[in-house]
């Protein structure tokens, strides 16, 4: 007895649907949270040096959002390095700096707070707070005296969740749970100082 042509066509459709779902699975995992990626990064001149402008894409897992809403602060660190390649030795590190953001939720005011240094901003929604956190503008990172005109440099930027500032039980959880090990890859790009 030969298989029914309609049955074979149905199996083929089913296989195509399963294949399409498997291809979309990595995107669905990223959309669900637990990621940081850099979508844009550049180094722009200002009067005394150079500043980083960058855009990040940040997704928090439901566990991280729940921890935030229960009063735990999340600390995100943006790191920058500027190196000059040397053929005869290790690359020279011309500049290295970092900036820490504290993201918290205050149940009494029902506001999310984002702070860095002495600056603190309040937001009615988590999305708005993350929107500001992920848009880095005019962060001054390199003095003009630290670089040489006409030289080629490599600039590197990344963002990560600083698990060392979490409460101790969550630090242990961060070691074993991928949701708490949240960091982007380094975004590296060439940079030449104009003569």
Closest CA to 140 of 162, 122, 117: 117
**pTM score, two decimals?**
0.77
pLDDT, one tens digit per residue, over 17-66 is 334 433 343 333 333 456 899 999 999 998 889 999 999 999 998 988 99
- Name the residue with tokens 């960091």: 183
pLDDT, one tens digit per residue, over 120-152 is 999 999 999 999 999 999 999 999 999 988 889
Mean per-residue pLDDT, 104-113: 94
Cβ atoms 104, 95 nearer than 8 A: no
Residue ranges covered by each domain of the chain: 1-32, 34-192
Cβ atoms 16, 10 nearer than 8 A: no
Which helix (H) or strand (E) segment is 21 a member of?
Answer: helix 5-32
Phi-psi region of 168 (alpha: psi -120 to 50; beta: other; left: phi over 0): alpha
Cβ atoms 116, 99 nearer than 8 A: yes
Closest CA to 190 of 52, 88, 38, 43: 43
């Amino acid at each position: 007895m030969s298989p029914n042509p309609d049955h074979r066509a149905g199996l083929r459709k089913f296989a195509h649907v399963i294949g399409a779902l498997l291809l979309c699975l990595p995107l669905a995992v990223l959309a669900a949270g637990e990621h940081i990626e850099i979508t844009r990064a550049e180094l722009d001149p200002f009067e005394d040096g150079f500043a980083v402008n960058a855009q990040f894409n940040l997704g928090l897992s439901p566990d991280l959002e729940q921890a935030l809403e229960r009063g735990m602060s999340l600390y995100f660190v943006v790191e920058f390095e500027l190196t000059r390649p040397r053929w005869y030795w290790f690359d020279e590190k011309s500049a290295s700096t970092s900036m820490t953001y504290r993201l918290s939720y205050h149940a009494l005011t029902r506001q999310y707070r984002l702070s860095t240094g002495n600056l603190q901003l309040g937001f009615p929604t988590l999305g708005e707070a993350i929107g500001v956190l992920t848009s880095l503008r005019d962060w001054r990172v390199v003095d003009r005296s630290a670089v040489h005109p006409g030289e080629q440099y490599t600039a590197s930027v990344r963002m990560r969740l600083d698990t060392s500032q979490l409460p101790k039980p969550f630090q242990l959880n961060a070691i074993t749970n991928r949701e708490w090990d949240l960091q982007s890859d380094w975004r590296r790009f060439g940079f030449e100082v104009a003569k």
